[in-house]
Every structure is written in structure tokens, then in C-alpha cells.
Structure 1
Amino acid sequence: MEYLKKTEFTGCHQGMRYRLEQTTDPEDPEGGKKLLVTVWPEPFNFLKTPEEKKQRAMFSFDEDGVVDAVGWMNDRLFENKKLWDEAPSRWDTYQM
């Protein structure tokens, strides 16, 4: 949690890239901290991947939120297995 208070955490697994970062919930009038998780297919990084290829979810910014986020990412990994498996073969399909 201390790491996420300072910067985002990124990584990849089996063709799925992910990013966890601290944010605020725009619907929360008190501006409480939240954990924003984004996943997208390889091959490009977060900034170079088109928004329509990204999936996002928001969780509580605590240990339970991290556990829930990992569960959500695992669900995306298995539900979209074909997308992640085919990701490296699509280098030339992205328009920049």
C-alpha cells in the first residue's frame, strides 16, 4: 500500500498488461482514496494503447481492495483468454 501511495504499479501476465494506481472517486463528495485498476492487451504500454482497448475497475484503497483488484484481474485473465493469447500477434494492427 505504501508503494501505491507514491506511484502506480504496472506489470504483465500472459498477454495482459495491468496498472494499479491511487485515485479519487469522482462520485464521492468527500473525495476518498480509491484503487483504480486498468488492464489492456499487449504489446503496447499504457500511454500508447487506445482507450477503447482498456478495461477499468475501482476498488477501496486498502488491503481488501488490493485482494478484490487481484480477483478482478484474474477474472479478466480467464474470461478474455483468447484476447490475451492473441495479443503479441497484433503488433501491426494498432493505429497510432
Structure 2
Amino acid sequence: MIDYKDVMPISFLKKEPFTGSWQGMRYRIEKAEIPISEDSDEKKTVLGVCIWPQPFCYDKTEESEKTRETFEFTPEGLSQCVDWLNTKYTDEKKRWTRD
């Protein structure tokens, strides 16, 4: 499983996306800006997370193959992100082990 200590800290994610993989599941974690509400120009900073199956990189994978989620841009949010990644891996194991 993915361990919290294997993921870059928030200070790194402020500047660069972090990519990794775990037994067929690839993932990308990055700082993202999302609207606070539909009718507002204000934005909120969050952790944007995306997962997709191997073999291709993020840019070469079809959008239909990607699953996205957001979390608070805090160390606690990063911990929740890692928990989500591990849950998605377990819940969708066949998706990651295409033979």
C-alpha cells in the first residue's frame, strides 16, 4: 500500500505535482484552484488527485480512464488523500491488474 511518508510534503506540492504508482495504479497529486461556488469568482486551494491505470503517463491517458478527487490543502488533507488512494486501489483492484 501507499504510505504517507512516500508522498511529498505539502511544501513540495505548493510548487510541483507529485506522481507515483502502486502495482498498476498511477496517481498524480497537485495543488489546484477550484471555485468556492458556481456564482463566485473566488477560488479555494485544494489538493487535486487523479488516478488511472498503467501503462501510460498522465498526459497520454484518455480522460475517461481517469478518476479525480479533491482534499483540503493541509497535511491532514494529504493524509486523507493517501487513505483514498489505498481505498481506491483495494476497491478497484481488477482495474489495476489488467492481464
Q: TM-score range by the shorter chain?
A: 0.7 to 0.9
Aligned with residue 15 of structure 2, among 6, 28, 48 = 6
Is 1:75 the counterpart of 2:87? The answer is yes
Q: Identify the structure with the greater helix proportion.
A: 1
Paired residue for 1:24?
A: 33
Q: What RMSD in Å do the two structures reach over aligned CA positions?
A: 1.1
1:39-64 CA distance string (max 9 Å, x none): 00000000000000000000000101
**TM-score when scaled to structure 2?**
0.83
Is the contact between residue 32 and residue 45 of structure 2 (CA under 8 Å) also seen in structure 1?
yes
SS at match of 1:2: helix
Unaligned residue ranges in structure 1 (runs of 5+): 90-96
SS of the equivalent of 1:47 reads: helix
1:61 alignment counterpart: 73
1:85 is displaced (CA, Å) by: 1.1
Give 2:4's aligned residue. Answer: none
- Counterpart residue number, 2:56: 44
1:93 corresponds to which residue? Answer: none
Deviation at 1:68? 0.7
